[in-house]
Chain A
């Protein structure tokens, strides 16, 4: 789960990382009030779960409350890479003398947390890594040993920070960032930029924070931060129905059982010359209710012209799935063409059940590729 900048900064604040004082606003009026309360110049920052908002006009400096309101009017509703701005973070403007970069990521290849620090902050870190790799200091932390202060010194001295007060402040922030990473089950904590003000104060000017979905049960306060409006409406509906669903941009609805088989089904639809409308994993089951829930999400998408069911019966038997599909069709009165391909345990029995009922819009194909080709034809 990705957090907005202001939510990440709230978590930073909880572990003691210095951040600017700010307020959340959802209307131009609120932005004006926030600027009045904060006093002095403020920065209006669009809260979106994507990068590049500065270039898109989503970050503006306001000298006073009136300007804050005017900027807010322009930024609210702005479309930044498909994300419509609904929330603004109004923060006291900071004077910037230097911009550094600090992050802690979940390195799944090495299976350890990875610190990255450079004094070349404020820009795309992949660019720093590619152009001046020596400027980027990387350090893995043993997850059983945890963080030790020498690691902060390695990063700070390694990156060439020379000012003693900065060294001290950054070393402290590095320890606090590790604390946040572990305490909040983060997959990513990034501070870009980590700034130094003209009077030598170090603070986090931005935050990028991703929390492990599997760990949200132990962070109910963070789970509540999820903005259901930011997700695709179909994905939000799927989440509410506990259906594993990802929206894609095509005409062939895809429903499989198991993540791997469903990914493979989406691929095969593409190879057959079609465009998959979604990824939908029925999971281990295949009971009528599961099929109804999945179909109710898939068919909410107006782009869907045909649905391809790809089922491999393991412990779940194909005859059960066949009955589930028939029951779902009956309950939902769907007229969209459906192609069903059953294989594995009791596949013949399942195909017989479907053939006997023979709804006019239901087609049974023997192999994945043939079924995909049929579904693509029917969706055309």
Chain B
């Protein structure tokens, strides 16, 4: 097993004919992901290197059995694309698009949670289950299959930690980038619950950053619900309040959302927090090797 994406993934890419969608969609296919169709309204009947392009997601579901959608359409159309995928019956939606308005995400979040759909992102690198499927922009070649679940709000920082684990001979069950926006489809808690239920995942690494209170919620959830060991890393200890640090969601508002508060909340629940990405990988390696 693994979570979110695996051998059963049947992927439709919304925005496959755009440059980014094409590049990453084909990259995902080259990795072994079962890419079955693309959707670009008005371009139905064309193909992208043999992948059929359709006008609607509904057609990808009814005629091709799509069960996972990846969204690469520009931000002004991303919310509509999520609704279309969910309405077509897609159970897992991964939205890579950056710059989706926060109000769009408030409505979408409420909508998908009411329906039990898994939405990852927006503004995220996607999900990779090494050896099975890659849906998104994660550089799969630096990861190997293994038993460590990795969940993060950041892309390159996750790659860094994953890469260090790989160099230590450790692999990952699934790597999930949940995205750097203030409101994302799946929170740390949502993904932690999936890792807890996944028999292949034995250890979990959670990579947080400043802004919001999802790490604090995760700390309480880990103590109450998780039996698997969790190691955390938090970025942004030296970030000034009121400044957006690259990610729209990475902002300290007043006195809330600081890295120090998150670290304290995690450590209060007995969760180890690394001071650098390297130290975090070393702590995980120490635990995984017993």
Contact = CB atoms under 8 A, between A and B. Distances in A.
B289 interface: no
Interface residues of A, number: 51
Contacts of B246: 244, 258-260, 262-263, 279, 281
Contacts of A244: 246
A312 B209 contact: no
B247 interface: yes
B99 A267 contact: no
Given A113-B106, A276-B238, A261 B275 contact: no
Contact of B247 (A259, A270, A312): A259
A270 B76 contact: no
A103 interface: no
A287 interface: no
Contact of B277 (A109, A248, A270, A368): A368
A200 interface: no
A111 to B, nearest CB: 5
Contacts of A368: 276-278
Interface stretch (B84-92, B138-146, B193-201): B138-146
A335 to B, nearest CB: 27
Interface string B126-161: 000000000001110110000000001111111110
- SS class, residues of chain A in contact with chain B: mixed
Contacts of A112: 106, 110
Interface residues of B, number: 60
Contacts of A264: 157, 160, 233, 235, 276-277
A367 interface: yes
Nearest to B280: A264
B43 interface: no
Nearest to A313: B139
Interface in B89-126: 99-103, 106-107, 109-111
Given A256-B156, A271-B275, 17 more contacts: A106-B102, A143-B103, A143-B110, A144-B107, A182-B103, A187-B102, A187-B182, A214-B100, A214-B101, A218-B76, A261-B160, A267-B236, A268-B276, A312-B157, A312-B160, A314-B139, A368-B278
Closest 5 CB pairs of A and B: A260-B154, A259-B246, A258-B156, A260-B157, A314-B139
Interface of B: 27, 75-76, 99-103, 106-107, 109-111, 137-139, 141-142, 152-160, 163, 180-183, 207, 209-210, 212-214, 217, 233, 235-240, 243-250, 254, 259, 275-278
Interface of A: 106, 108-109, 111-113, 126, 142-144, 182, 185, 187, 212-215, 217-218, 244, 246, 248, 256-264, 266-271, 276, 279, 281, 284, 312-315, 343-345, 367-369
